[in-house]
Structure 1
Amino acid sequence: MEISSNTPAVVTGGASGLGEATARAIAAKGAKVAIFDMNEEKGEAVAKDIGGVFCKVNVTSEEDVDAGFAKAREAHGQERILVNCAGIGNAIKTASRSKEDGSIKHFPLSAFEFVIQVNLIGTFRCIAKSAAGMLTLDPLSDDGDRGAIVNTASVAGEDGQMGQAAYAASKGGVIGMTLPIARDLMSEGIRVNTILPGIFNTPLMNAAPPQVKEALAASVPFPKRLGNPEEYAQLALTMLECGYFNGEDVRLDGAIRMAPR
């Protein structure tokens, strides 16, 4: 797909981190980008900076997602691009024993379910609604290309660490549904791919102490640093623009394989 002037796009989680970098990269190609995010202040600022539109959207809410797509399409038309970057994480062991008093507790199921709702179901909700809209579009090429979707999983979906049961399950689900969705949409000319980022220098990581960031960077085989959001955006653009890129799950991690802890 050629991303050109006025190509409509939606980026979830686009107010910061990987989503912001991707929204900026797509906009730099001329696309009209709608940012879906919960952070109104940051989202409005990024949207204004790139000439896009901000939609306050909680991806766990059917009403929010419907309203977000309606607002985005009213402003820019039916999107041909969807990039899913909205996500959360937590670190809780499945079951553990207190060091203080020896009491035993388990992973609260509500906390587990919330991560699944945001990362997996929220991603699928946006895919399904966006793809339905893309089906109304005329093909852009002789191949029948109507649109392209990029999702965000994580290396944790393949080698999750201690405390990442919910996060790994949610991201593993995104990985697992990529090929079936690509097959669902193959006759309609909509491609679907997923990126599995490693350890990236996002706002969440910026809150970590310098020694923690240094240790994490040292654990990456090469290059020995954290990933830059712009590198995620670069791969997302390749997935969007290369017409033969479809049904793939690609690690972007400096060859890291996560240790148990």
Structure 2
Amino acid sequence: MNIDNTISAVVTGGSSGLGEATARALAARGVKVAIFDLQADKGEAVAADIGGVFCEVNVTSDESVDAGFAKARAAHGQESVLVCCAGTGNAMKTASRSKEDGSIKHFSLEAFNWLIQINLVGTFRCVAKSAAGMLTLEPGEDGERGAIVMTASVAAEDGQMGQAAYSASKGGVVGMTLPIARDLMSEGIRINTILPGIFNTPLMQGAPQAVKDNLAASVPFPKRLGNAAEYANLALTMLENSYFNGEDVRLDGAIRMAPR
């Protein structure tokens, strides 16, 4: 796929972090970019800076996602690129005992479902609706109509203590990559997934420097946190290389997460 001013893209979670870096990288190549996010102030600022459009979207809502695609397509036409970076996390042991009074509690099922709805169902919702739109496009070289990149995490393969829900949500994203690629193969739409390691996103930037230094030291090489631009670079490679399909790729400096 040619990444240039002839195409449009939607980036979920595009107001900050990995999504913002990807939106900026696409826009730098001339792509017309729509940002889906709940952070309206940041999203509007990024969209203005890259000449794109911001759509306030909650990925857990059919109505909100439909409205976002309608606004994006009214501004830029049918997207041929979707990059899904919207997501969140939480941490709690499946069951645990209080050190103070010995009381026992378990992971809230409400909290578990909340995370699954955002990271897994929300991702699939955007993928399914975008792919349906891509089916209306005329096929290009190799019969290609579109390309999609999803975001999982290394926690999909080596989740730490307290990450049962997060790992399940990201493992689900990995697990649906190949079936979706097979679902869409006859329509010329590709899909791949990136599994980021420890990245220096806004969430991480709020951590104490000592914590960040320890995390960086745990990465085999290079001994640092990942940069969002490195995620964006891999996303663009997946979009451009038309033989890249149905793959789940770790981007993590060779880290394998310890139990805690």
TM-score, normalised to structure 1, is 0.99
Q: CA deviation at 1:4?
A: 1.1
- Once the two structures are superposed, the pairs formed by residues 26-105 of structure 1 within 5 Å of their partners are 26-105=26-105
Q: What is the rounded CA distance, in whole Å, between the counterparts of 1:247 and 1:154 in structure 2?
A: 16
C-alpha offsets along residues 125-150 of structure 1, whole Å, 9 cap, x if unaligned? 00000000000000121x10100000
Q: Alignment partner of 1:194: what SS? A: strand
Q: Alignment partner of 2:190: what SS? A: strand
Task: Show the counterpart of 1:15.
Answer: 15
Q: What is the rounded CA distance, in whole Å, between the counterparts of 1:93 and 1:45 in structure 2?
A: 38
Task: Show the counterpart of 1:259.
Answer: 258
Q: What is the rounded CA distance, in whole Å, between the counterparts of 1:178 and 1:124 in structure 2?
A: 10
Q: Alignment partner of 1:185: what SS? A: helix
- Native 8 Å contact 1:6 1:76 kept in 2: no
Q: Alignment partner of 2:161: what SS? A: coil
Task: Show the counterpart of 2:246.
Answer: 247
Residue 177 (structure 2) pairs with residue 178 (structure 1): yes
Task: Show the counterpart of 2:162.
Answer: 163
Task: Show the counterpart of 1:190.
Answer: 189
Q: What is the rounded CA distance, in whole Å, between the counterparts of 1:163 and 1:118 in structure 2?
A: 18
Residue 237 (structure 2) pairs with residue 238 (structure 1): yes
Counterpart of 1:40, as a letter, is A
C-alpha offsets along residues 203-240 of structure 1, whole Å, 9 cap, x if unaligned? 00001000000000000000000000000000000000
C-alpha offsets along residues 54-87 of structure 1, whole Å, 9 cap, x if unaligned? 0000100110000000000000000000000000
Q: What is the rounded CA distance, in whole Å, between the counterparts of 1:91 and 1:62 in structure 2?
A: 27
Q: CA deviation at 1:7?
A: 1.2
Residue 155 (structure 2) pairs with residue 140 (structure 1): no
Q: Alignment partner of 2:143: what SS? A: coil
Q: What is the rounded CA distance, in whole Å, between the counterparts of 2:111 and 2:38 in structure 1?
A: 19
Alignment coverage as a number of residue pairs: 260
Q: What is the rounded CA distance, in whole Å, between the counterparts of 1:38 and 1:46 in structure 2?
A: 13
Q: Alignment partner of 2:36: what SS? A: strand
Q: Percent identity?
A: 80
Q: What is the rounded CA distance, in whole Å, between the counterparts of 2:117 and 2:67 in structure 1?
A: 18
Counterpart of 1:214, as a letter, is D
Task: Show the counterpart of 2:215.
Answer: 216
Q: Alignment partner of 2:112: what SS? A: helix
TM-score, normalised to structure 2, is 1.00
Q: What is the rounded CA distance, in whole Å, between the counterparts of 1:126 and 1:28 in structure 2?
A: 24
- Once the two structures are superposed, the pairs formed by residues 192-207 of structure 1 within 5 Å of their partners are 192-207=191-206
C-alpha offsets along residues 87-139 of structure 1, whole Å, 9 cap, x if unaligned? 00001100000111000000000000000000000000000000000000001
Q: CA deviation at 1:6?
A: 4.0
Superposed structure 1 runs of 4+ greater than 4 Å apart? none
Q: Which runs of 5+ in 2 are unaligned?
A: none
Q: What is the rounded CA distance, in whole Å, between the counterparts of 2:110 and 2:53 in structure 1?
A: 33
Task: Show the counterpart of 1:109.
Answer: 109
Q: Alignment partner of 1:25: what SS? A: helix
- Native 8 Å contact 1:192 1:247 kept in 2: yes
